[in-house]
Amino acid sequence: MKVDFYSLNKKVLKKKGVLLVNLGSPDSTKFKDVRKYLGEFLMDKRVIDMPYLKRLLLVKGIILNIRPKKTAAAYKKIWLKEGSPLIVLSEKFHKKVSKGSKIPVALAMRYGSMSIENGITELNNQGVNHIFLIPLYPHYAMSSFETVVEKVFKIEKKLYPDIKIDTFPVFYKEINYIKAMSDKILKNIKDFKYDYILFSYHGIPERHIKISDPTKTHCKIDGTCCDLPSKAHQTCYRHQCFETTRGIVKTLGLKEGTYGNSFQSRLLKDPWLKPYTDFEFERLAKEGVKNLIVLTPSFVTDCLETLEEIAIEGKKQFLEAGGISYKHIPCLNDDDQWVEVVCNWIQKWEDAVSVSL
């Protein structure tokens, strides 16, 4: 009997590849494209955690009849000639990471036309059967990191059961991420004399913190639980945001009283993590802060929430409340230092996988 050696071994030999996943964006600023994108985003049960029928009624019966027009107008303020800033910047980042990596790298979005399914298919078509998944979210939240991982494994199980997937964990206090963020800040404040630095993180509903708590008792959001040791911190978005701030503060040597945290981008009327960023703009200005720096560490790529909500509307709000000068620090985007950090993560994974074979 003739034995095909390659056929015997191709099932065990692994070709490695990387899947980078970010949030996503509408295809254009047209009402129909924004509505389609928002519909997919808001119908995700990890974004609006309601029973399906109730979520359907809220999203398609109310929100999608009101919000797309406002969101489309916001996108028009920041849209680039090449397209959505998030997509354009992510593609530049992807191109640089691909150049610095020895293995195939695909880019996908959790929502929108650049789907995760397309990203996995792209790698599969190149013969990849062992994927290193890197969700581009520094912090754990069910509406960001968790929904990406869940979607990837759902597609893998349904379409590509022979593909193995390793997931890179959240990197909110990873030393090289903190260093890249800190260096980015230093580069952007050389000639800016500031009174205060506001760390504005994307907000989530308070109930998401408690839902994600594996102990079901630790997270009380009472001002103390984030400082008490607990395994709940592995999935606690609030704790992880504060840890990122602590890491950057320590690296930059910031003085107590010259910085603070806040949370932006609220949706619906449920209690969300506090303090709210828009409230902080007014409070800080009225309490005498004249020169404000704002950065958004929960995003690695500039998008609607950073460019329109913070860089444009936030500045307007702060100045109208009595502030004098305002500076928004861009996200890491496709900075060479950030690219090098991610390429090093990929290389370490490759080395670890090679040793285990």
In a domain? residue 10: no
Nearest-angstrom CA–CA distance, 117 and 114 = 8
Nearest-angstrom CA–CA distance, 49 and 59 = 12
Cα 7 to the chain's mean position, in Å?
Answer: 41
Are residues 212 and 322 in contact, defined by beta-carbon separation less than 8 angstroms? no
In a domain? residue 8: no
Nearest-angstrom CA–CA distance, 165 and 17 = 10
In a domain? residue 74: yes
Longest Cα–Cα distance in the chain: 86
Q: Which residues contact 176 (CB under 8 A, 6 or more apart)?
A: 341, 344
Residues 158, 217: one domain?
no
Q: Which residues pair with 109 in a beta bridge?
A: 22
pLDDT at 234: 96
Dihedral angle computed from the Cα positions of residues 54, 55, 57 and 62, in that order, rounded to the nearest 10 degrees: 130
In a domain? residue 99: yes
Residues 155, 224: one domain?
no
Report the SS3 class of residue 273. Answer: coil
What CATH number is given to the structural domain containing 75?
3.40.50.1400
Dihedral angle computed from the Cα positions of residues 312, 314, 319 and 321, in that order, rounded to the nearest 10 degrees: 150
Strands (E), 233-290: 259-264
152 by Cβ neighbours in 10 Å (0-12 / 13-18 / 19+) ranks as buried
Nearest-angstrom CA–CA distance, 196 and 287 = 11
Nearest-angstrom CA–CA distance, 38 and 24 = 10
Nearest-angstrom CA–CA distance, 41 and 47 = 7
In a domain? residue 7: no
Of residues 196, 299, 310, the one with CA closest to residue 254: 196
Number of neighbouring beta carbons within 10 Å of residue 121:
16
- Helices and strands, counts by H and E, the chain: 14, 8
Q: Domain residues for 347?
A: 16-170+336-356
Report the SS3 class of residue 262. Answer: strand
Tell me the per-residue pLDDT of 216-229, one tens digit each, with 9 for 90 and over. Answer: 999 999 888 999 99
Residues 179, 324: one domain?
yes
Q: Tokens 């691909």 label which residue?
A: 98
pLDDT at 13: 64
Q: Cα-atom radius of gyration of the chain, to the nearest Å?
A: 21
Q: Give pTM, 2 decimals.
A: 0.94
pLDDT at 357: 62
Residues of the chain with pLDDT under 70: 1-13, 356-357
Residues 141, 182: one domain?
no
Q: Which residues contact 210 (CB under 8 A, 6 or more apart)?
A: 216, 219, 221
In a domain? residue 271: yes
Residues 220, 314: one domain?
yes
In a domain? residue 49: yes
Tokens in use for 287? 């309490």
pLDDT at 1: 33
